[in-house]
């Protein structure tokens, strides 16, 4: 049976740049819901994990009881998109995490937190992303992570000029080390919504 209606996308709203993601997803035709507790996942077709502080989001996810439900939903095939801290939380492995830090997992990657330094080391650059087509993506890196290793089943979508990996996709999971929502770059969110729509069997979002 084909599901009808707009895709319902949850945003993990424990900490981070939730509003920027919500605005972009709404403009692209999704119904957006805030996810803070396990019941908030009911009826959600996909989940965005925003930038912020990965260790704080991890602690809050455990405190609010959503870590295991999110982990289970991702393992069961729910599409998810993580930006910056969200990429860290989708990674199966992290280096330089704080003691006891956990992730939701799903992406067969190893990610290094704060790989580029402190807030003052934030930077912007243009990236070629062939899978998206069109002009280069103007990317903003804010205390950004870096994918140090990607498994055989992971598609590397974008790298810095020196070859360091900053965007990946694996099945229904998408991760970027930068913040497309900050610059108004909509193509990654559009791709994610297409992934959500494909997973639920509806027609493409207009």
Active site residues: 84, 179, 181
**Helix or strand (DSSP H, E) at 127:** strand 123-127
Domain borders along the chain are 8-200
- Alpha-carbon distance 37 to 94, whole Å? 25
- Alpha-carbon distance 87 to 104, whole Å? 10
| CA-CA-CA-CA torsion sign (102, 83, 81, 164) | negative
* pTM, to two decimals: 0.93
Contact 154, 168 (CB under 8 A): yes
Distances (CA, A) of 166 to 10, 19, 23, 169: 23, 23, 23, 11
- Alpha-carbon distance 195 to 138, whole Å? 22
Domain 8-200: top CATH class: alpha beta
What pLDDT tens digit does each residue of the chain (206 aa) get? 334 478 999 999 999 889 999 999 999 999 999 999 999 999 899 999 999 999 999 999 999 999 999 999 999 999 999 999 999 999 999 998 888 999 999 999 999 998 876 665 678 999 999 999 989 999 999 889 999 999 999 999 999 999 999 999 999 999 999 999 989 999 999 999 999 999 987 444 44
- Alpha-carbon distance 157 to 166, whole Å? 8
């Amino acid at each position: 049976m084909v599901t009808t209606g707009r895709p319902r996308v949850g945003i993990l709203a424990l900490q981070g740049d939730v509003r920027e993601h919500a605005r972009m997803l709404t403009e692209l035709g999704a119904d957006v819901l805030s996810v803070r507790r396990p019941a908030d996942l009911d009826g959600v077709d996909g989940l965005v994990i925003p930038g912020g502080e990965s260790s704080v989001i991890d602690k809050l996810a455990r405190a609010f009881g959503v870590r295991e439900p999110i982990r289970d939903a991702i393992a069961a095939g729910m599409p998810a998109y993580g930006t910056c801290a969200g990429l860290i939380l989708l990674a199966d492995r992290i280096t330089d995490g704080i003691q006891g830090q956990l992730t939701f997992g799903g992406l067969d990657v190893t990610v290094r937190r704060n790989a580029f330094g402190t807030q003052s080391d934030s930077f912007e650059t243009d990236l070629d992303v062939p899978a998206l087509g069109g002009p280069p993506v103007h990317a903003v890196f804010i205390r950004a992570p870096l994918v140090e290793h990607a498994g055989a089943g992971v598609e590397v979508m974008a790298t810095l000029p020196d070859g360091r990996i900053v965007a990946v996709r694996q099945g229904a999971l998408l991760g970027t080390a930068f913040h497309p929502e900050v610059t108004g770059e909509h193509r990654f969110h559009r791709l994610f919504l297409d992934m959500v729509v494909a997973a639920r069997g509806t027609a493409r979002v207009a």
